[in-house]
Amino acid sequence: LRDFLLVYNRMTELCFRHCVCNLNYRLLTGREESCLDSCAARLVRANHRLMGAYVGLVPALLQRRAAEHGAPAGPPAPPASPEPAPGPAQP
């Protein structure tokens, strides 16, 4: 959700700065509205292409990383230490 909101906010900011040139009116002009529509559509298509490539590459990257590091069977065990663990003093 966080990533989606970051992308959405960035897209909104880019298109607003590119298309809206007059802040004297409450409503958008026809030119501003069509510019915003095409800007948002371009960015959404670009984001879809990027996400498609990402989804296609991630499984191969994860497999390669697991092969390089060796897939651990479980969480690593803490190292054994000869000294007792710090804690409250016993009377």
Instruction: Please tell me the pTM assigned to this model.
Output: 0.57
Q: Counting Cβ atoms within 10 Å, is residue 23 exposed (0-12), middle (13-18) or buried (19+)?
A: exposed
Ordered structural domains, the chain, with CATH: 1-69 (1.10.287.810)
Query: Whole-angstrom Cα distance, residue 81 to residue 42?
Result: 59
Query: Whole-angstrom Cα distance, residue 54 to residue 30?
Result: 36
pLDDT, tens digit, 9 for 90 and up, residues 13-25: 999 999 998 888 8
> Helices in 20-83 by DSSP H: which ranges?
30-69
Q: Counting Cβ atoms within 10 Å, is residue 71 exposed (0-12), middle (13-18) or buried (19+)?
A: exposed
Lowest mean pLDDT among 46-50, 58-62, 68-72: 68-72
